Homo-oligomer: A and B are copies of this chain.
Amino acid sequence: MNKIKNIAVVGGTHGNEYSGIYLLKKWHKNNAFLNRSSLVIETLFANPKGFQENKRYLDCDLNRQFRQDDLVNTKLTNYEQTRAKVINAQLGPKGNAKTDFIIDLHNTTSNMGPTLILLKCDDFNKKMGAYVLSKMPEAMIVFEDQVPMQEHYFLASIANQGVIVEIGPQPQSVIRQDVLDWMETMTHTIIDFVELYNKNNLPELPKTYDAYHYIESLTLPLDENGERIGMVHKNVQDNDFKPINFGDPIFTLFDGSEISYTGDYQAYPHFINEAAYYDNNLAMSLARKKQVKIA
């Protein structure tokens, strides 16, 4: 891997996730934070119209519009599809991007704490996870490398390297100080890591650490008309990254009955009851625990 030189820090990919938006404003007033002698760091406010209207998006989820096929499809013309093309021209183009590394800043209403989502499982990303954990022991590291970077639909997949900083719990359209502080610390830590990795000057890191590997998403209980008939079970609510096993209750129906987990593996739920996922009636994501080994 070539050294990373050009970094883009992106906020407001979702217009009602305020931490990234307000950190960009803060860094524009005082840009010492982003001034690194060995790096060129730019910032991008991805969905300003979403923010103006205080919504995640106007027409469709911007952070699902970055598949290669979609980026070159001239028939996709709504606001977010159009923003995706412009952002791809600005930071990319995907496959041959002028930006080496993208950090995309997100919030969740789920109780996930400071979470780092990695899109590749190469040496760079594995060591980034270890370094972030060494500085933020409360952090969670999730690998979403189930598809190659080229096939990902995330904004961060425009560049050869990209990560998602995902901090919660924070209601939509709110600024919480604890969440803002976590996001600023994690962004800072990632940029420190890039500088040290470039210079081959990383401190000694543990040879292994625990992380999570995305497997699947669970749907809310629906009736035959597609109407919601239940909710996340109170035992699961807020317990992101706590394991669930076969037979554990995971949903409560409005009639009082319960639905249990029947998967064949010990699952680590996250994005539990995320407000934005109600659009698609998603109740939570499931991961397996994974031991990451550093060569």
Contact A177 B109 (CB under 8 A): no
Q: Mark A271-286, 1 if CB is under 8 A from B, else 0.
A: 0010100100000000
Is A246 at the interface (CB under 8 A from chain B)? Answer: no
Contact A175 B231 (CB under 8 A): yes
Which A residues from 240 to 287 make CB contacts under 8 A with B? 252, 254-255, 273, 275, 278
Contact B177 A252 (CB under 8 A): yes
- Which 8 A-B residue pairings sit nearest by Cβ, starting from the closest? A177-B234, A109-B171, A171-B171, A175-B231, A26-B254, A174-B275, A173-B275, A171-B275
Q: A171-B171, A177-B237 are in contact. List 17 more A-B contacts (CB 8 A).
A: A22-B228, A22-B254, A25-B254, A26-B255, A29-B255, A30-B255, A169-B171, A171-B172, A172-B172, A173-B278, A174-B273, A174-B275, A175-B228, A176-B231, A176-B273, A177-B232, A177-B234
Binding site for B on A (CB under 8 A): 22, 25-26, 29-30, 54, 109, 169, 171-178, 180-181, 228, 231-234, 237, 252, 254-255, 273, 275, 278
